[in-house]
Every structure is written in structure tokens, then in C-alpha cells.
A and B are shown apart, each in its own frame.
Chain A
Amino acid sequence: MVNIDVAVIGGGSAGMAAALSAKENGVENILILEQGNELGGILQQCIHNGFGLQVYNEELTGPSFAQKLIDEVNNNNIDYRLETTVISITKDKQITYVNEKEGYVSVKAKSIILACGCYERNRGAISIPGVRVKGIYTAGEAQKLLNIENILVGKRVFILGSGDIGLIMARRMMLEGAKVLGVAEIMPYSNGLMRNIVQCLKDFDIPLYLSHTIIDVQGKEHVEKITIGKVDKNKKLIKGTEKDFWVDTLLLAVGLIPETSLTQTAGIQLDAHTKGPLVNDRFETTVPGIYACGNALHVHDLVDFVTMESKLVGRFVAEDILSYTTTPNLINVFPLEGVNYVLPQRLNKDVKEKVTFYFRVNKPYKESKVEFLDGDRVIKSVKKKYMLPANMERITLKKDEINNISFDLKVRVSEI
């Protein structure tokens, strides 16, 4: 069996960034396994701009951002396989993958980085009532069809969910000649970035229906009509608020979920909130030597954050390979009121450096404070002017602040 130091599953931004950083930190024998026919992952279909300000200090499109990473991977002679699907991984880090040339192959890795991205929540997951006919797509699927394959899936479109991909697709389809009749969002606030609300909806006079959801989809051979309705605080339909739209297409932009189908065979534990693996401060999952980063770990707002996180993980993996010391995970990290999830979910007893915590709030907050608690003791309090569930928050705790923790670490948010 072939031995590899670091096997990276997924050749999107997370996988490439992690591989590059592992290489930069001294690992030679790296292999990226990518399912698609080129590197870059989902970035290749995100042809809009708005990426790159944090990582490259310039505004880039998805493909441009990918191009920069791909060029770096090639310049660093990092080995990768395309059109290669990982079938399974095991606890002792054996990977079985398949492609046309090699068939089914098993390799052994010292470390594995899960960087296989996420998938879109679809109709099944949210049980939208109505018929199952052609014309219902996830926003990402419609995006790939349009931007990569040149197929406009419909002429009259309604979008459920105000996530960024939905907003971006509203603009894209309008520009390509379709009419977008509206966007419905079940929450009372938008789940997309404000600039996308303005530049994708307001620029094209597309109405946004907050606190609304789809209650019916009708049509014989394809979608003909959808019905939306207003919902109350408990997301229950308010009778009499129904409104019909005659459309041929319904796009769903109702959230992303980390791709974790490989975690089961390896026995990696998942977090019920992020739906991704549980990790410690070095992004190591509950199985030693298997790490996770990018959207395979938790869903990020921007590829810049994916890239920065993955570079960090690449370094951790390199350091751990060169001098690995098992420290039992002793400190648990919990979200309290106001917080949907916190990551990492565990800390090593003695962290080697500062740790950045990623979290999302459960509703919009103005003038509020984020508190980190050790038992009842507040060890850090940070004031925030404005926080939205759509924006991932990041707060860093110093090494000393963490190493003095005696119980566990909890994070809460409250308005001042």
C-alpha cells in the first residue's frame, strides 16, 4: 500500500489552501483527491465578484480566486488526482478512492484533511408541499447549469430563501433574460449579505418577502404556479395571507450542510448544530490524525474565511506530523443563550497558541456583548455593535486566557 503524509479530500479552496500551507510548513508528501474534472470546486461556478479582499487584497471573482490557488498548487508541485472519488476512510487513516485510470485504490496516510465542502439543503429536507415536477432546483444547481453549462433553467422564477446564493442567482438570471418575481424568506430578517440585498434585489426591483414561505407548488409537467404565505413567530402560516405567483421555476436557497458522508466509516463524531465534525483547537476531529476545514467543517460566509481557516489547519497538520503529542481533550466549549454554535467544540488542556473561536448568533443583535465564561467566571467580554446570523463572528482568546480555564468554556451573547 502506498504511504502518504497528508491526504486532502477535496480540491476546492479549503483543500488547496490546506495543502499549500502543509507544504509551506514542511510536509513533502501530499496528495489532493478531487471529484471534479478540475481543481477549484464550487468557486468555479461562483462567477460573481466579492471574494479575495481579505486574502489577496483585491476584489476577485470565484474563478479568479480559484485560479490563484490552482497556480500556487501547480507551482508547488503538489500532487493531485482529478475525477477521483473517495469511497471510504478508516480510523487508521486508510483511504480507498477510485478513478478511471487506477480503479479502486487504497492508500495509507499519516494525516487526513477533510475538505470536501458542503451540499445544499434541498426540498426533501424542508418538506415543501406540492407536486414533484421539473422546475425545482437548488440555487447552486441552477448556478452551475447557467454559469458552466449555459442552460437557463427557466424564464419566470421565484426564489425561496434569502441566502447569498439565492440572491446572486436572482441577479444572474435577470441579467440573462429571465424574470425573477420575488424572494421569500421564512425568517423576519434576511440571511444574505446586505450588499447582495442591494445589488442583487434592489438593483432589479425584485421584492423580498420576509416572514414568508412557500406553501404550495402546482403544475403538471413542470412548475406552473407557487403559493407563498406569511408566517407568525412560530413559523406557522397566517391564513388569508396566501399569494400566488405564476412561475416556471422555483429556486431553493435554504442553506448549506457540511458534506460528512465519509465520517461514518471512520467513526468521527458530528456536532448537531454545525452538522460538521466536532474538532479541537487544532481542528482535529474526534479521530486522531483526521482534520477538517472549510465548509466541510462548518458553513462559511466567504471563501476568504475558508482559505484563512484552511491555511491554519494545514500548518497544524504539518506541525502535528513533525511532533505529535496526544493531549486528551479536556475542555468542552458550549454555546449558551444567543449563540447557535461555537467552534472549536473542544480544547486541549494546554493550548500551544491563541485560539480563534468561530460562532453564529441566533438572531440579529444590536449593541451587545459576547462573553466567554469559565464556569461562572467571565474570562473575556467583547462589545459588538451589530451581529447577524448571516455573518460568522470570530473572536480570539489568548493562550493564557485559555490555559487558566478550570471548568469548561461557554459563550453567550446578550444585549447591553
Chain B
Amino acid sequence: MQDIVIIGAGIVGSFLAHDLSKYDLKVTVIDKENDIANGTTMANSAIIHTGYDPEDGTLKSELNVKGAKMYPEICKELKIDYQKCGAYVVACDKEEIKILDQLKNRADKRNIRAHYMEREEIVKNEVNISDDVIKAISFPDTAIIYPWQCAIALMEEAVINGVDLILGEKVYKIDEKQGFFTVYTEKKAINTKVIINAAGCGAEKIANMIEKSPFHITYKKGEYFVLSKQANKFVNHIIYPVPTKVGKGVLAVPTTHGNILLGPNSNICESEDLSTTSEGLEYVRNHLNRIVKNIPYHEVIRSYSGLRPTGNNGDFYIKPSYKNKNIIHLGCIDSPGLASAPAISAYVIQEYIKKCLDLLPKRKYVKRKAPPVMNQLCEKEKNDMVKTQPLYGKIVCKCEKISYQEIVDAIHSPCGAKTIKAIKKRVRPGMGKCQGGFCEIEVAKILSKELNIPLAQVLYDEKHSNLGTEAKQW
């Protein structure tokens, strides 16, 4: 019998798994995907908003402000990327300046640092700002993280401390018995006292397995372009237009690895459809023109889209089931879900889990050891690494300069990468200009060797995504 089953290994599920692993509990995390952070956490803007945007009195406003303040400490502890690059919300006319004033008001009330900037000062820091921009608010504490790395690091530490992680299995039924539940996947039936429904876009489906879902999710698709590192000077801060009812608008966002993201649009879609469309990307192009100029589209190396599970009233839905208080629904976690995630976890534990279970701290809690990242070392440190393990000196990905051994490390880490995409998320081969044209085969060969499976059986992502078949059999 488990104490808790968390359904969903996105950023929220990972924070909960991590935070709950500090207590003497038996915790299992289940996700239908083949890797951690493969749904909503896979594709978003990677921004830790400071929390000036959500309306007063919402759960979003409370948890966003709290969550954003928790990140620096967490990222330091886990030794993961966190960059306070700051953000400019820019206005192009008088109407928009009025909205800036509202934001400034809200920020002041919430103790979020914010100050006005006139055009002259904006241009000094951002040469590619659009000619129409007349005023801005700078939010110096807005930060960026590397969401996959964050979720994976959290889950790794959870797994080291005894959390059971089941990937690639879909929950299709939940039975309620006297005092406990049984969660069914294709392969397993798991008994548990408490269920946390952190299934992101799938949360409503999970809720419907228990009751008529008390919340309704609409999928909102956002499409993005990614610019190569050659374009990394294009903007230095996150550049936002003023927010509208529809959302935060189309942004230009630096990433922690020196790329730039352009997007997203926001389109309601019927199914969990992750395709990009020429109309969607055209929309991104058109709306970007309002806030920035000289956009280096020749440096586009990829486009992608992400789904946001949006609720009816615009707020998160975080409540126990009406039927049984031992099921806690985390529905409608759209933006600012990433920024709020640590606070969501703390809130759920404090408000609900404590009422269902006794939380006794573990006697011994083991810290995760972060894998070496060769690119972050100086030449002497690099050479020391190569001396102890020569394969740190064999470069597999030319564009991102990723070594063979870093990929091997990722495969054999606590939540080891089992697919080409999982390697990409952890160590980034194929994230450069050639987009894996050269190194994807090498990565597949390393997976084949380390996992001891034939090359043709190496998976790109989900099951049935294997590389191919042997053309000429032995």
C-alpha cells in the first residue's frame, strides 16, 4: 500500500514528489509519457514571472508571488540554471501606458520591484526594441530557468530518496475501496491512501475517473520559434507587450543556454494537438513586430508548440475531490504554473496532505549529485575530467560541444534517459544549428550500447518511435 500516488511527472508533480520525499512516506509517481517533463512542462516560455500579472484575490496571484521567491534557493540547492535576466513590459500608445500603470500598481502592492523606463533608457539596453515603443516597466526580478532540468533534478532527488517513478504507463482506471484507492495502468494496479492529480492537460480525464470533473480544461496552444545562439544578442531581457485578456502576448525571451524564444500565440484547440501551423507562426511574426525590430529569422533553428490547460475562470483549480478528500485535484495549471510550481507543492502539502496523512520528516535525506557539465568548466577542470574519464574528451555534438561521457552519465543517472529526446532534454545534443543532423545517430549508438539494445530499437520518444529496422539482417 502506497501513501501517495502522484499522477503526472511534470514540473508540479516533480515538485510534489521532491517535497514529499522529505517525509517518511511511500510515494509513487506515474506518467503516461516516457520521460519526466514531457507534456506541458516540455514546451513553454521557461519564465519565472514575478507575479504582477494575475488578478487580485486569485490563487494564481498568491502562488506566483510565493513561487517566484522560492526559485533562487531551490535552483542553488539543486545546482541548476536560474538567471535573473529581468523583463521589460513595453507600451506603444497612451492606452497601453494606462495598463502599465495598473501593472505598476499591482507590483507595488505585492512588493515586486518595478520601475518605469522612458524610451531613451530602453533603447540603451535593447537596441532592437520597436520604434513604436514609448515607455516600459522594468521588472528586474523576472527570471528564466531550464524547466526540463528543473523537473528532472527534482525528480532525481525524489527517486534517490525512495520515490517510485513509473514512466510510459497511462492511468486508465481508479477504483475507490474502503479507505484506499487502486490506480490501474496497463501493467500495474497500485493501492494508495492518497492520490494527487497533477496530470496537466490530462487532469480532467483523471478527475473523470473518480467523479464528474469539478473543473473543465480548455487546451490553449502556443507556438514558438527558437533562434540559434548566434542570435543571442538580439534581446537581453524578456520583452513583453502589455498583457491583454487573452494572455501575456507574444514575447521575445532569452533562454538559459543563450538561445532566444519568440512566441507564443494562443489558440484554443480541440485535442492534445502539438502541431505547429503556418497561420500560428505567421501570427507570432506579425505580433512580434509591435515590440521588436530586426528580428533575425534566418537564425530560426526550430519551431514548436506547447499546450496550456486553461480553466474557465482563469484561475488554478486546486482542491480535494468533492467525493473523497484524499484525492487532490491540481487542475487548470496554465501560466504562471511554472513560476508557481514550488508554491503549489507547498500549498498542497500544507493545506491538504497534512490533513490526510501524518508527515514525519525522514531521518536521512540524501542530496542529489549534479552531473558535470563540461561547458561550465574552465580548461584546467575540463582536462582533469578527461584525465579521469577520457570520454569527457570525445565530443559527440559539435554545435553544443557535448561529450560522450555526459550522455553516458545521463543514461545512468537516477531517472536515467532512455530515449533520444530524454538525452536531448538532459544534455542538449541536437539543440544547436544542425538540430541533430550529425549527432542524433551517435546519441542513438550510445543508447544502444549502454542500454544493451539493438540500434534499430532505440526510441526517439514514445513507444513505437524506434529508429527503424535493420536493412540487412545478420
Contacts and interface: CB of A to CB of B under 8 A. Distances in A.
Interface string B427-447: 000000111111011000100
Give me the 10 closest cross-chain CB pairs, A-B, nearest first: A124-B302, A85-B395, A134-B465, A134-B460, A100-B390, A103-B386, A153-B468, A152-B471, A103-B383, A119-B434
A103 B304 contact: no
Interface in B26-64: none
Contacts of B382: 98, 103-104
Contacts, number: 134
Contacts of A100: 386, 390-391, 393-394
Of A124, A138, A150, most buried by chain B (CB within 10 Å of CB) is A124
Interface in A192-235: 215-218, 220-222
B32 to A, nearest CB: 12
A149 interface: yes
A103 B300 contact: no
Interface string B461-474: 11111111111100
A177 B471 contact: yes
A180 B211 CA distance: 49
B128 interface: no
Nearest to A100: B390
Given A85-B398, A149-B455, A124 B435 contact: yes
Of B399, B437, B463, most buried by chain A (CB within 10 Å of CB) is B437
Interface string A87-107: 100000000101111111000
Interface residues of B, number: 52
Interface string A144-174: 1110011111110000000000000000000
Given A153-B467, A177-B471, A129 B441 contact: no
Nearest to B391: A100
A340 interface: no
A133 B459 CA distance: 11
B468 A103 contact: no
A71 interface: no
Given A100-B390, A101-B390, A103-B387, A141 B275 contact: no
Contacts of A221: 461-465
A99 B393 contact: yes
B278 interface: yes
B445 to A, nearest CB: 8
B435 A122 contact: yes
B470 A152 contact: yes
Given A104-B386, A131-B274, A98 B468 contact: no
A35 interface: yes
Nearest to A98: B393
13 contacts: A98-B393, A103-B382, A122-B434, A124-B301, A127-B281, A127-B300, A131-B275, A141-B436, A144-B441, A149-B441, A150-B455, A152-B471, A221-B464
Given A104-B382, A129-B281, A134-B460, A141 B469 contact: no
A237 B394 CA distance: 45
Contacts of A150: 455, 470-472
Given A100-B386, A104-B393, A132 B467 contact: no
A151 B383 contact: no
Interface of A: 35, 83, 85, 87, 96, 98-104, 119-120, 122-125, 127, 129-135, 138, 140-141, 144-146, 149-155, 176-177, 215-218, 220-222, 261, 264
Contact of B277 (A104, A129, A149): A129
A43 B275 CA distance: 35
B461 A133 contact: yes
A144 B440 CA distance: 11
B276 A130 contact: yes
Nearest to A101: B390
Q: Dominant SS at the A interface?
A: mixed
A194 B459 CA distance: 37
Given A102-B393, A151-B470, 20 more contacts: A83-B394, A99-B394, A101-B393, A103-B386, A103-B387, A119-B437, A122-B437, A123-B435, A124-B300, A129-B281, A130-B275, A135-B465, A141-B440, A145-B441, A145-B468, A146-B471, A150-B470, A154-B468, A176-B472, A222-B460
A136 B430 CA distance: 14
Nearest to A85: B395
B89 to A, nearest CB: 28
A215 B304 CA distance: 15
Contact of B300 (A125, A132, A140, A145): A125
B186 interface: no
A155 B470 CA distance: 11
B465 A215 contact: no
Contacts of B470: 150-152
B226 A124 contact: yes
B383 A104 contact: yes
A372 B386 CA distance: 54
B281 A222 contact: no
B230 interface: yes
Nearest to B403: A98
Interface in B264-322: 273-278, 281, 300-304
A1 B437 CA distance: 34
A86 B371 CA distance: 24
Nearest to A96: B379
B456 interface: yes
A230 to B, nearest CB: 15
A92 to B, nearest CB: 18
B401 interface: yes
A80 to B, nearest CB: 16
A135 B460 CA distance: 9
A151 B456 contact: yes
Contacts of A134: 460-461, 465-466
Nearest to B385: A103
A134 B304 CA distance: 14
B24 to A, nearest CB: 39
A216 B273 CA distance: 13
A221 B456 CA distance: 16
B14 to A, nearest CB: 23
Contacts of B281: 127, 129
A144 B276 CA distance: 28
Contacts of B394: 83, 99-100
B273 to A, nearest CB: 8
Contacts of A101: 390, 393
A412 B285 CA distance: 34
Contact of A261 (B303, B387, B399, B471): B399
Of B230, B386, B399, B445, most buried by chain A (CB within 10 Å of CB) is B386
B447 to A, nearest CB: 13
Interface in B325-375: none
Contacts of A144: 441
Contacts of B440: 141
A129 B230 contact: no
Given A100-B394, A131-B275, A120 B437 contact: yes
Of B276, B300, B302, B393, most buried by chain A (CB within 10 Å of CB) is B393
Nearest to B420: A134
Nearest to B448: A149
Nearest to B470: A150
A98 B461 contact: no
A135 to B, nearest CB: 8
A17 B230 CA distance: 30
Contact of B471 (A131, A151, A220): A151
Contacts of B387: 103
Contacts of B398: 35, 85, 261
Nearest to B445: A149
Contacts of A98: 382, 386, 393, 395
A137 B423 CA distance: 18
